[in-house]
Amino acid sequence: MSSVSNPLQLSERALHFLKVLVERYISEGQPVGSRALAREAGLNLSPATIRNVMADLEELGLITAPHTSAGRVPTAMGYRLFIDTLLTVKPLQSNVIRQLRHDLDTQDTPDELLETASRLLSEVSHMAGVVTLPRQEAVSFRHIEFLPLSEQRILVILVTNEQEVHNKIIHAPRQFSNADLQAAANFLNRTYAGKDLELIRTSLIQDLAETRDRLSQAIIDAAAIAELALKDRSSHRKPFVLTGEINLMDFSELASMERLRSLFEAFRQKEDIVHLLDRCIETTGVRIFIGEESGYRALDQCSLVTASYTVNDQVVGVLGVIGPTRMEYERVIPLVDFTAKLVGAALNHKSLSPS
C-alpha cells in the first residue's frame, strides 16, 4: 500500500534502529539523538555509526529533525513502516479484557452498547473513542402508530428491527380522524410486519399508482400517510458516538488552542470524521490513519486507529480511537481490535436470538 512498506532498500539493521527510535520517541516524547539510540539499540555501535544510518532514514523520509541539533522524530511514513512491519503488539491486560467483556455484555439496547463501547475505548486508551452506529441496508418494519396532534400534524411512532423506536411529526395533506389513523396503522401493521422498509415504500407508491380506484379509502389514506412517515428517515440519525475528547487536551502535541479548536470543530461538524470513518468500513480488520494521511487538516497531528465490526459476517460499523500521532500503537491496536470483536459478538447475539 504505502510506497516504502517494502524494506528492500533498507538493511535489517536500519529497520531495527527505526523500530527502537519510534518506540523510544513514543515513550519519551522527545526527539531521539544518536547517543540515546546507540545506548538503547543493544548492538554495540558508536553514535557515529548510528548517525550514518539515521541520515539514510532521514533521506528516505522516515524520520525528520525538528531543527539542526535536535534528535530525530518519526514522520508519518516512519510510523507507517513501523506499524506495518515492525510493530510487536502487546496483549491486552487481563483486567482490561475482563472489564470490556463485562461492560459490553450487560447492555440492553444496541445504542447503549455502542455508547458503552465508545466510553470504554476512551477510558482504556486515555484518548478519544469513536463508534459509528451500525448501518443497515435492510431495515425491517415492525410496528407503526399514528397519534393526531393539533390540526393536520400527526405524531408517527415507527418501530424497526425489532426494537428501534423512531418518532417524527408529519404534516398531513388533510385532516384525518382518530379512527382513520387507527385504521391506517392497523392496516400497515397487519400487512407489512417484518418486511423491508424500502420495499414497503416502493410497493406503497406502486400500489397507490396502479390500483388507486380499486382500493378502499382507508388503505389509500394509510398509504399516503405512511409515505410521508417513511420518507427521509435517518436524516436526523446521529452519525457516530464520540467520547473522551477532553482527554486529548492532555497531550502536549495538541496543546495549542488553534489546533485544538479546529480539532473540536471537526468533531462538532462531524462531516469530515464521518467521511474518514466511512473509508474504514470497507476494510476488514484494523485500519490506521497516521497524521496527514487522513487528508484533513484538523487531524494533522492525530492518528485514527479503527476496526470494523460485523454482524453475521457483514461489516456494519466501525469503531476506533483518536489520539495524537505519538500514541502507543502496540496497545491501542489490540484494544480496538478486541473491542470491535466484542461489539460484533454482542450485536450478533441480539440479532440472532431476538424472539
Partner DNA sequence: TTTAGCACTCTAAGTGGTCGAGTGCCAAAA
Partner DNA sequence: TTTTGGCACTCGACCACTTAGAGTGCTAAA
Residues making contact with DNA (CB under 7 A): 30-36, 44-49, 51-52, 54-55, 58, 65, 67-72
Q: How far apart are CA 124 and CA 120, in angstroms?
A: 6
Rg of the chain (C-alpha set): 27
In degrees rounded to 5, what are phi and psi of residue 237? -70, 135
Distance CA 316, CA 327 (A): 27
Of 76 and 124, CB closest to a copy of itself: 124
Q: In the complex with a copy of itself, which residue's Cβ is closer, 68 or 353?
A: 353
Cβ at position 22, least distance to a copy of itself in Å: 26
From the list DNA, a copy of itself, none, partner contacted by residue 49 (C-beta under 5 to 8 A by kind): DNA
The stretch near a copy of itself (CB under 8 A) out of 45-53, 207-215, 262-270, 284-292 is 262-270
Residues constituting the chain: 355
CA atoms within 13 A on the CB side of 180: 18
Report the nearest approach of DNA to the CB of residue 56 (Å).
9
Residue 159 near which of a copy of itself, DNA, none (CB within 5-8 Å, type-dependent): a copy of itself
Helix (H) or strand (E) holding 115: helix 110-125
Could you tell me where the beta strands, DSSP code E, fall in the chain? 63-64, 73-74, 128-132, 141-148, 153-160, 164-171, 240-243, 286-290, 302-311, 314-324
Closest listed residue to residue 98, CA positions, set 122, 119, 124, 118: 124
Query: Minimal distance in Å, beta carbon 166 to a copy of itself?
Result: 9
Q: Does 149 bind a copy of itself (CB under 8 A)?
A: yes
Grid cell 415504500 in the structure block, residue: 201
Q: Which of 220, 223, 321, 207 is nearest to 273 (CA)?
A: 321
Alpha-carbon distance 308 to 314, whole Å? 10
157 touching a copy of itself, by CB under 8 A? yes
Near a copy of itself by CB under 8 A: residue from 40, 58, 115, 145: 145
**Side-chain half-sphere CA neighbours of 155 within 13 A:** 7
Q: Closer CB to DNA, residue 67 or residue 190?
A: 67
249 binds, among a copy of itself, DNA, none (CB under 5 to 8 A by kind): a copy of itself
- What is the contact mask toward a copy of itself in residues 11 to 30, using x (rule: CB under 8 A)? --------------------
Between 179 and 257, name the residue whose CB sits nearer to a copy of itself.
257
Alpha-carbon separation of residue 148 from 98, 155, 169, 181, 226 (angstroms) = 49, 6, 10, 8, 14
The stretch near a copy of itself (CB under 8 A) out of 27-35, 64-72, 129-137, 254-262 is 254-262
- Residues between 213 and 242 that touch a copy of itself (CB under 8 A): none
CB of 301 to DNA, least distance (A): 17
- The residue ranges that bind a copy of itself (CB under 8 A) are 108-109, 142-143, 145, 147, 149-150, 153, 155, 157, 159, 162-163, 165, 167, 169, 246, 249-250, 255, 257, 260-261, 264-265, 268, 353-355
